[in-house]
Each structure stands twice: as structure tokens, then as C-alpha cells.
Amino acid sequence: MKKTLYFICCFILFSHSIFALPIDLTKNWYVTIGFETTENPDTKKWKTLESLPLASILSEFEWEKGKLRKVTMAKSFLLSQTDFQKTEDDAFSLHIPYISNYYEIYINQSLVSSNGKIKNEAIEKSGYRRHILIRMKRNQLNIGQNQIRILIAAEEGEELNLYKLFNDYPANIDLASKHLKIEDEYETYMLLFLYIFVGIYHGLFYWKRRQETYNLFYALFSIFLAVYMIFRSQGVYSFGLEPFTQSKIEYFVVFLTPVWLLLFTDVFFRSKISIVSKVYFLFSLVLAVSQIFVNRATSVTLLRIWQISVLVFGVILLYLMISAVRAKNKDAKRLLIGVLFLLGTGTWDILGASGLLPIQNLNLLRFGFLVFVLGIAVVLANRFLRVHRQVEELNLSLEKKVEERTNELQNTLTKVQELKVQQDGDYFLTSLLLDPLSQTKVESTKVLLQSYVKQKKEFEFRGKKREIGGDIIISDSITLNGKSYLVFINGDAMGKSIQGAGGALVLGVVFLSFIKRTQMILENQNKSPERWIKECFYELQTIFESFDGSMLVSVVLGLVEEDTGVLYYLNAEHPWTVLYRDGVASFIEEELELRKIGTKGMDGDVRIRIFPLEKGDILFIGSDGRDDLVLEESGDGNRLINEDETKFLQVVEKSNGDLSLLVENLLDVGTFSDDLTLLRIEWLGSFKRVSKDTLSNLSTDDYLYAKVKLLLDLGNGEEAYQNIESLLSNESLNDDIRINLIREKSRISLLLKKFDVAVESLESIFPFFVTDNEILLQLSFAYRKSKNIKKAIDLGERLRARDPKHIRNLINLVECYRLIGNAERAKKIFHRLAMITPDHPQVIKLKELLEEEIKS
């Protein structure tokens, strides 16, 4: 009897009697803190929850700070015999719309479902999910009184809730067949497929037309929304993702979804991205990335922040749309309806999900986007129709326009052909002018000269094939001080075809003019080779400098003394000169000293280089076309150009110094990309070279040089001089030794102030030491002391051309110019000297002398 009364009390106190399916589980719950799986809800610690959601009663409990929040919910329900009869061919099914976070569900004290994991009073694994469907076994249920208990746990700050309904599906117990429609998401999957298709479709549009970036943003918006719908469907649970990981991915996608729509609208109607859109994009991106690294509670907080920001986003989007409508954009008017549906449904879902208003999240956004897609389709269809109408209008007059355009093209082609003929005529005339300039008039038995010229620009004029370019080779013979010299120049003018040819033309005219003046005027032949090259360079520089930097020329300019094989030359930013000797090719230069001819403000003195050739030596001088070879060329026009200047040395050695083979071997390496000129100079003569070390190697047993050296060390110069004279009287003396003894005699003569003897001695041995600057200085000094100032200046200037910073020579020249009264020249050289070494004692002394001369 007592047991019957207890069940009646439970029925009255704890249950809401339902004698027909479905059984409503949204009302009349009892709730307490902690997990209680057996205790009946008849004590004071249990509180009554009249209606879900659970969150509406949580404020009535006191929670221990920092501890895991646990709640037990209990509710009784009745099942009649009729209910059991209904499930004979079916089954009972329990539906819970949404639980957060960890949960356990008991029916009549039997665990029927759970998710999540608790360890050490902390949630180790989340368990929240939507639409929990549990098929209940008949043997777990009773006819009459039954009880359901739900244990829920959540961290502090995290959502602790059991929803009343989700997507309009409430918590209840019904037949399993009735609950199938909850997981029946055919509409969702159809829309999802549509949105993915639309995204891919517009993505392909962007792939083909990159300038239409709005297609990219629309594609991203559509695909992101489709992915979001996947995560809001029941099918996402088939992936087996951990709930918190699933939420992070879902939030990342949803946070960025509105951004793409905003960017699409901005670009579609304004053709640019505004600063407001950029700020919103950055804000959403920070939220999306941040929530990946935070806990569940903070992640929910970030979601609430984003939900509020979306309302701001809606205002911005409406502003953009209304602005476009006011601008009388036809597409904006049609798209506005779809946007309003999209914003309306999206706002409803967000307000429902956030709990800001007492409305339910019905997942209406998927249908709002359908209307938006239809709006876009209408816009695109109208655009297509407008284009189609324009095409029809164009087709009506196409034949006439084609005829007009054909006539225009024909006229243009005729003009182009006329201009081409005129241009080729100019090329032809210029090439005719260059022909007599590019000459190699050399007839010598001691110097063999060969040249190769290949201009990049080829053309045909009246059946004649010609070449034109900026490279030029000129050579001729001149006489200086009674000696024969081969003069040559290899130039490369700046620019291609006609521009380069213009520079080569000017170079050829000025250079040949300088040569002709030397050949015809006797006075011009009384110059040293150094001075001749220096004056020629300055004349070319003066002419080209007048072009104000628009015409530059790189050159190698030089002289070869036919009898001695001495090379005098300078290099103005031309590829380095190559020496081929004994089967080995090498550069005879190591640094750049001069800029191209025509460079304005060229600083520094011109330095003339001296290089003695030996019998059989071959020089190769060429333009940069020898290095700029195309090694590879791809089909899209990209070329690999050789950058290794030593490659030319390898080709010279492979060709054994033969010019024809050299050109062939260059073509084996790569094709020419620029004009190419090559000048080959071979010295066939022979001349005795004397080493200045010969004298120091004399044997003291055979000669008395040891005694001469001792006498010099003792300061007895006169006796040393007489000993050298005695040695030179030996007619069987070796030539090398004789020459070096004469050199030593000249040095002692200068010490004894026998300047005439010194002049005679130095002049006799100078041809054997033509590259020795010290002998040149001694000879100039001896002439000055012998009162032959003109000869002293000539030799001093010759040395200055070789070494512009030779201090003792500059001092000697200042003294020479002072002696002949050329104060201006003396001051100019002294100024240069003072810049080099202002503290030199002789420089200070010269300064005082010059200042006294100015005063007097």
C-alpha cells in the first residue's frame, strides 16, 4: 500500500502525464547541483524548472569559483499500454535538441547515452552536440512511471545548457520513425550542392578573367557558406571530429563568410575595396585565427563579439547597396531584394543563436542565400542580355566596320612599308658612309693585322643586303720621330642600329682626321707615341662630350712600334685586351681606369699603358659582343646570356689564336646578341730585350764590378766611373752586360754631374729599356741639366702620360716649365702635385719659389 502511495506522489509531484506519443520533455524538470544518479528529487536542494532551456534557472544556484560546474536534471514521464502497442513495429526514440558540454543520459537509472570525458575535475574532452537521438529499448521502459536523468557539466565561463528546441525540433520522446525527419536533410544537401556549384562556377570565371576580382570574392562567399552549412548539418558528425575541434573549424569559416560578401559588394559596385571593408576583414581574420588557440569559454565569447559585429556588417552592406541604387545602378536595384532576404534571415539566425532576443535559430540563412543567388542570377542574366544586344548591334554594322578597318589597316600598312623603305634607305646611306671609315690599311712585314666585323642589324635595300651597327675597327700606319707605328682603334658606340652607327660614324671621321693630320703635317710627327695617343683621346673626348652624354663610345686605342714590338695603348671601358702567348690566353689589364669617351665630367689623368710584345705574340681586341652570347633561349622569349668574361679566353686557346676558328668556336658556345668586332694583331718581328738584373749577376772573378760597387759605397764616384770605362773597353764583352754597364755609367755620370755623358749613355740604351720609367726620368733630368729644356719637357710629359702620379717627374716638369717661363703650365702641374703629396719637402720649396715669382 505504501509503495502504491509513493508512486502516486511521484506522479503528482514529478510528472506531467502524457498518455499519447509524442511525450513533451520541455517542461517540469527538477534540477540540482552535482551529479545525482539515484537520489529522488524530493529534497529542498532540487529546484523546479518549469520550462527549458536549462540556462534560465542557473542563476538561482551558487557555484564554487574555479570548480567544474555540474548539474543533474530529472523528470518523470508515463508510458501507457497504448504507447507500447504503437512501438511493436517501431521503437521509442528520445530527442534532445542540444546539450553543452559534457553529458550523461539515464533512463530508469540505465545509462543510454554520454559524450565527453572528465578527468581530475576538468573536462578533458568536450561532448556537446546537436540533435541527440537515442533509440530506447522496450526492456528499459515501464508501463506507467518512468524517469529520465541528464547529467551535464561545463567549465566556468563556458555554456552550461540544455536547449528547449533546435531548428524547431523540441525535446521529446516519440516513435523512432517520426524522428527520422530530424536527420532527413535533403533540402540542406540540395542547397549545399547548389552553393558549392555556384562558388566553383564563379571561381572559374575569375580564373579566366583575373581582372574581375568580384567573382573571386563571390566564389569564396558561396563556398564558405556551403562549408558552414556542412558543419550545421547532422552529417558533420560522420567525420568523427572532436566537438571542440569541430567548433573551431566552424567558427573560423563563419567568421570569414560575411567578409567575402562585403568585399564582393565593394568591388562589384565601386571597383575598389574601401578602408572600412579592409578594417572589417582584418577584424574578422583576427577573430577567426584567435579562436583556434583559446579555450571553449573564450571561444564562445569571441563568437558573441562576432555576432554583434555582423549586425554592423549588415548596416555597412545596406549602405553600399543603397549608395549603388542612388547612383542609378540597375544591377544594384535587382540585387537589393536578395540582399534584404539574406540580411533578414541571417540576422534572425544570429539573434536566435546569441540569445539576445527570445527567438529560435531556425537556420533560415540557407534559404535567404537561395534568394540572394537567384538575385545574382538575374543580375548576370541581364548583363548577358545587354552584352547580347550590343553584339547584335555590332553585327548589324560589322561588315561595314570590317571593310573600313581593312582599308585603315591597308593604308597603315602602306605607310609602314613606305617608312620601312625610307628607313632602309637611311640605313643604306649610313652604311655607305661607314664603309670607307672602317679601313685596315696596313702593309707591314713585322705586324700582321686581321679583323672580323659582324653587325647585329641586317637589312635589304633594293636587292642589296647590308649590315649596320655601332662597332667599328680602323687601322693605319703613321711615323713618329722617324719610327713606323701601326695605329688602331676598336670602338663600340652606344645604341643599336642607326644610333650606334651615328656614333661609329663620328668616331671614324674624327679619328681618321687625326691620322691624316699626322701623316701630312711634319710637326705632328715629332711627338712621342704616348703624347700622340693622349692628344687623340682628348680630341675624341671633346667632340663626344658635346653630345651631352647622349652618345658614348668605348674604345681600345693604341700604337704598335713595328721594329721593337712595343704596344702603347689605352682602354676606355672596353672589354679587356687578350694576349695569346705560348698557347695560353690571358688579360693584360686588371682594372678599369677610363670611362667611355663622351662621359661628362671625366675626372683623373689619362694613363697610357706600355706592353712589350715578344715574337709570335697575338693580341685580340674585341667589343662586348664577344662575351654577350645567348647560351639558351626558351620558347617564351627568355634568354640566358653568358656572364663569364673568361669564357672568351677559353675560346681563344681552343682556336690556337686563329681568327676564323675563333668566330666558329664562339658560335658553338652561343649565338650573338650584339654587334661583334674582333681585331687580331700578331707581331712577327724580334728585338733584343735586356733585363735590368743582368748587371747584378756579373761574376766577380771575371769582372771588376765588385770593385766598382765598393768604390761607389765609399763615395769615390770618379774612380768607379773610370773602372766602368775600363770594362767597356773590352770588345769581347757580352751585349747584355755592356748595355747594363752603360746604364750604370749613366747613373754615375748623373752623380758626377757629367750630364752630357749621361744623356749620351741613356739615349744609347733607352731602346732596350723602353718600358723603364726610371730611365725616362733620368734622361729628362739629364737634358734639363744640359740646358735642353724642350727635350726634357718632351720626355717628362711622355713619362707623365705613362704615370700621371709620378712625384719626382712632376717636380722635374714644374722646374722645366719654370725655366722656360711658362708659369701657367708650371702652376697647373704644381696644383696636381700638391694634391698628391702636399707635405713633400721639394713641393714646399717649389711652392715658395712660385709664390716669389708671382710677387716679382
Residue of 384 and 771 predicted with greater confidence:
771
pLDDT confidence tier of residue 566, bands split at 50, 70 and 90: very high
pLDDT of residue 70: 93
Does 789 score more than 70 pLDDT?
yes
Contact 562, 486 (CB under 8 A): yes
The mean pLDDT value for 581-587 works out to: 92
Does 794 score more than 80 pLDDT?
yes
pLDDT of residue 49: 92
* Cα–Cα dist 300/69, whole Å: 17
pLDDT of residue 845: 83
The mean pLDDT value for 98-118 works out to: 91
The mean pLDDT value for 590-611 works out to: 83
Cα separation values, 379 from 145, 268, 314, 382, Å:
61, 11, 21, 5
Q: Which amino acid is at 363?
A: N
C-alpha closest to that of 539 among 601, 604, 600, 597: 597
Residue of 396 and 243 predicted with greater confidence:
243
Contact 105, 61 (CB under 8 A): no
Q: 3-state DSSP call for residue 292?
A: helix
Cα within 13 Å of Cα(360), Cβ side: 13
Contact 35, 74 (CB under 8 A): no
CATH class of the 430-680 domain in this structure = alpha beta
Contact 470, 499 (CB under 8 A): yes
pLDDT confidence tier of residue 628, bands split at 50, 70 and 90: confident
pLDDT of residue 694: 52
Tens digits of residue pLDDT in 190-199? 877 877 888 8
Residues above pLDDT 70, as percent of the chain? 87
Residue of 540 and 459 predicted with greater confidence:
540
pLDDT of residue 360: 56
pLDDT confidence tier of residue 15, bands split at 50, 70 and 90: very low
pLDDT of residue 432: 67
Residue of 382 and 35 predicted with greater confidence:
35
The mean pLDDT value for 146-156 works out to: 92
In angstroms, what is the C-alpha Rg of the chain? 52
Tens digits of residue pLDDT in 62-107? 888 888 999 999 999 998 888 888 887 788 899 998 898 899 999 9
C-alpha closest to that of 611 among 650, 582, 572, 570: 570
pLDDT of residue 297: 81
pLDDT of residue 21: 83
**Cell 566552424 sits at which residue?**
250
**269-278, 355-364, 430-439: which has the highest mean pLDDT?**
269-278
Work out the mean pLDDT of the chain and round it to a whole number. 82
C-alpha closest to that of 823 among 780, 778, 855: 855
pLDDT of residue 766: 85
pLDDT of residue 76: 92
110 contact partners, CB below 8 Å, separation of at least 6: 140
pLDDT of residue 56: 87
Does 5 score more than 50 pLDDT?
no
C-alpha closest to that of 219 among 232, 194, 201, 246: 201
pLDDT of residue 836: 84
129-136/144-154 β-pairing: unpaired
pLDDT confidence tier of residue 358, bands split at 50, 70 and 90: low
In the chain, what are the domain boundaries?
2-182, 186-391, 430-680, 688-770, 790-856
C-alpha closest to that of 22 among 150, 164, 175, 136: 175
Does 488 score more than 90 pLDDT?
yes
691 contact partners, CB below 8 Å, separation of at least 6: 736
The mean pLDDT value for 596-610 works out to: 82
Does 580 score more than 90 pLDDT?
yes
Tens digits of residue pLDDT in 820-840? 888 888 888 888 888 888 888
Superfamily of domain 2-182, CATH level 4? Galactose-binding domain-like (2.60.120.260)
* Cα–Cα dist 783/756, whole Å: 8
pLDDT of residue 653: 92
The mean pLDDT value for 268-273 works out to: 82
Does 361 score more than 60 pLDDT?
no
Does 11 score more than 50 pLDDT?
no
185 contact partners, CB below 8 Å, separation of at least 6: 233, 234, 235
Does 185 score more than 80 pLDDT?
no
pLDDT of residue 9: 43
Tens digits of residue pLDDT in 644-681? 888 999 999 999 989 999 999 988 888 888 888 899 99
pLDDT of residue 6: 42
